[in-house]
Amino acid sequence: MSKKIVVALGGNAILTDNASAEAQQAALRKTAKYLVQFVENGDNLIISHGNGPQVGNLLLQMAGGSTAKNPAMPLDTDVAMTQGSIGYWMQNAMDEVLSEKGIDKDVATVITQVEVGADDPAFTDPTKPVGPFYSKEEADKQKAEHPDFVFVEDAGRGYRRVVASPRPTGVKEYRVINHMVADGIIPISVGGGGVPVVKEGNRLAGREAVIDKDFASEKLAELVDADTLIILTAVDNIYVNFNKPDQKKLENITVAELKKYLDEDQFAKGSMLPKVQAAIEFVENSNNGKAVVTSLENVDKFLSEGAGTIITR
């Protein structure tokens, strides 16, 4: 029986040291070869992805060319723009590899709006760095031009704007995505964590924020009743005591066991921590679903041997 699988791609699946369109398209062609293995396995695939470097580059380009007649776009629109550009590259890459394999299947990008709470405390405590580095003088100038912006010193490298990173509460297009899967289409969705929106009466209004793509992928997987949430990152497994002499690889683990490691602060913020938290939330909130954390390069071993870190209830 085929399984419905949400696969969340890390940034290393899209962007290398070269930020050109050609280099990112080449990286995605390699990524597509791994992802098509799920299709060959008979699974119904939903793809999600990050956009941190891309939206940062776009902010930099807009800041450099912004004028009164041609102003820079707000952050929610920038997220939508990078959803479109990455989705365009990814669906072309998937189409190419599917064609090479003789698989007749359509791939399409959904510009996805992810709902967040207007009263989420993250809006009063922005922590997510975005965009270029500034000197103190440049940051002060930006602050004078944009009084609502918040700037912080970032690890001795200069000042950066920080924005809110609220938790997702819903995915507006999840029913569309489910219909696409039922019709045999591979959706690319919640790119970059989705466009952050809040309900204002009968409309959804964008917000200057960046949603963590692991949490957005978890919420989508929950809403579409996925069998499995797979979070692909740079390592084959979750580790405890990472990079220490007594480093330990986690393979098959329950939510209760993983929570004990959370209580020990085993996982780095902004790195493995949100992946672990998203995996736990999916397993707890799904109908007997499981979560997997592994690397893109380990997909074949996951499919053939169950390799990776597998989290179950």
Residues assigned a catalytic role? 11-12, 128, 213, 275
**What does 96-144 look like in DSSP terms, one character per residue?**
HHHHHTT----EEE---EEEE-TT-GGGGS--EEEEEEE-HHHHHHHHH
Strand 309-312, strand 290-295: pairing: antiparallel
Within 10 angstroms of residue 147's Cβ, the number of other Cβ atoms is 6
Q: How far is C-alpha 202 from the geometric centre of its chain's CA atoms?
A: 27
Handedness of CA 138, 139, 144, 146 (dihedral sign): positive
> Nearest 5°: phi and psi at 127?
-135, -10
Q: Beta-carbon neighbour count of residue 101 at 10 Å?
A: 14
The residue type found at 61 is Q
What gap in Å lies between CA 195 and CA 65, rounded to an integer? 23
Residue 173, C-beta contacts closer than 8 angstroms, at least 6 positions apart? 110, 112, 113, 189
